[in-house]
Amino acid sequence: GGLSGAQFAVGANLARGPVTGAQFSVGANVAGADLLGLQSTVGVNVVRGSAEGAQLAVGGNIASGEVNGTQMAVAVNVAGKGLLGAQLGVGANVSGGPMRGLQAAVGANIAAGRVHGLQATAGLNVAGQMTGLQMSSGVSYARNLSGAQLSIINVGGEVDGAQVGIVNIASNVSGAQVGILNVARELDGEAVGLLSFVGGGQAHVQVWASDVALTNVGVKLGGRHIYSLFTVGYSPSIDEDRRRYVMGAGLGGHIPAGRFFFDIDAVSSTVHTKRLFDDTNHVLAQLRLTAGWQVARHFAVFGGVSANTLVTWDDSDPWKELGIGPQWRHVADEGRTTVRMWPGLLAGVQI
């Protein structure tokens, strides 16, 4: 039969029917039907129905029906038909139905139904329909997300909100992706990162000439208004100018205006004279402002100005031939460090 009251055992407590009250044991507690109250054990708590109250175990908590309350375990918590409350575990938390509340684990949180709330873990979060927040030092996955993912790796299907992590991957995003690598089949919003491959964003190759290097090639990747830029440049030896290589990266903002556009970006580069990857004691910082015209769908021309700052240290080559127009020069560290500033020009094409 059922239980109304309390059971205490070193081994196991077994109630064949519903339990209203409490079960305390070292081995296991079993309720044959619904639970209204508390189960506490070192081993395993089992409810063959719905649980309203709390299950506390070192081993695991298992309820075949819905859980309205709290499950706390070192190993595993299982709410077979859904959760209204909290699951707190070191190992894994599993909700087989809708969840409204909190799942927090070191290992994994898994919710098969619609989720309203928070999943937080060091390992893996998995949700079907997620409204709320997923946080992980590992991986978070949601088939449909309305809210945010904050993890090292975020994976989503339809995302309405934000993904913030090292790697962000989604099918369609309405919101933002912020990370080192962002990937989205379609993005209605912004992508901020080192590498962003997003539909509706920017993926261009630029070729231009400037006062720093005669030939430059750059890759421009990003969302609609924010982009990253990776550049390499080369100038042959001409008259008194030596051969030089330039390699850099930067971050910029893009303002579309019909067939015209305006870009402003900051680029940091190294300058080399013999080979591209030689050690160097020269760092060139540029603030560039350019305007462009989209001549055709996949072809544009652009030009602009730059503010250049070259820092040379350890009493190395100051690259005096770099620069046009008026210059500002400052020498420090007993002549071992030189800072030079000058205006620059650039013009090129974008495909």
What's the farthest any 2 CA atoms get from each other in the chain? 102
Contacts of 203 (CB under 8 A, 6+ apart): 197, 220, 221
- Find the mean pLDDT for residues 67-94: 97
Contacts of 40 (CB under 8 A, 6+ apart): 22, 23, 24, 25, 29, 54, 55, 56, 57
- Find the mean pLDDT for residues 9-33: 95
- Find the mean pLDDT for residues 43-67: 97
Q: What is the pLDDT of residue 241?
A: 67
Q: Which two tokens stand for residue 136?
A: 């992980």
Question: pLDDT at residue 244 above 90?
Answer: no
Q: What is the pLDDT of residue 240?
A: 65
Question: pLDDT at residue 262 above 90?
Answer: yes
- Find the mean pLDDT for residues 279-298: 91
Q: What is the pLDDT of residue 73?
A: 97
Per the CB < 8 A criterion, the answer to whether 32 and 45 are in contact is no
Question: pLDDT at residue 273 above 90?
Answer: no
Q: What is the pLDDT of residue 318?
A: 61
Question: pLDDT at residue 331 above 90?
Answer: no
DSSP for 2-22? -EEEEEEESSEEEESS-EEEE
288 exposed, middle or buried (CB, 10 Å; 0-12, 13-18, 19+)?
buried
Please work out, in degrees rounded to the nearest 5, the angle formed at the alpha carbon of residue 281 by the alpha carbons of 276 and 285.
85
| b/e burial code for range 14-29 (CB count within 10 A of at least 16 → b) | bbeebbbbbbebeebb
The span from the CA of 339 to the CA of 269, in Å, is 15
Q: DSSP code of 275?
A: -
Question: pLDDT at residue 36 above 70?
Answer: yes
Q: What is the pLDDT of residue 278?
A: 72
Q: Which two tokens stand for residue 203?
A: 């993926």
From first CA to last CA, the distance across the chain in angstroms is 78
Q: What is the pLDDT of residue 52?
A: 97
The span from the CA of 103 to the CA of 78, in Å, is 11
The model's confidence at residue 315, banded by pLDDT at 50, 70 and 90, is: low
The span from the CA of 316 to the CA of 137, in Å, is 44
The model's confidence at residue 317, banded by pLDDT at 50, 70 and 90, is: low
What is the number of helices (H) and of strands (E) in the chain?
Answer: 0, 25
Domains annotated for the chain, with CATH where assigned, are 1-116 (no CATH), 123-188 (no CATH), 202-350 (2.40.160)
Q: What percent of the chain has pLDDT over 70?
A: 97
Contacts of 132 (CB under 8 A, 6+ apart): 115, 116, 117, 118, 119, 146, 147
- Residue length, the chain? 351
Q: What percent of the chain has pLDDT over 90?
A: 81
Q: Which helix (DSSP H) or strand (DSSP E) does residue 227 occupy?
A: strand 226-235
pTM attached to this predicted model:
0.85
Average pLDDT of the chain?
93
Per the CB < 8 A criterion, the answer to whether 286 and 307 are in contact is yes
Residue 292's DSSP bridge partners are: 261, 302
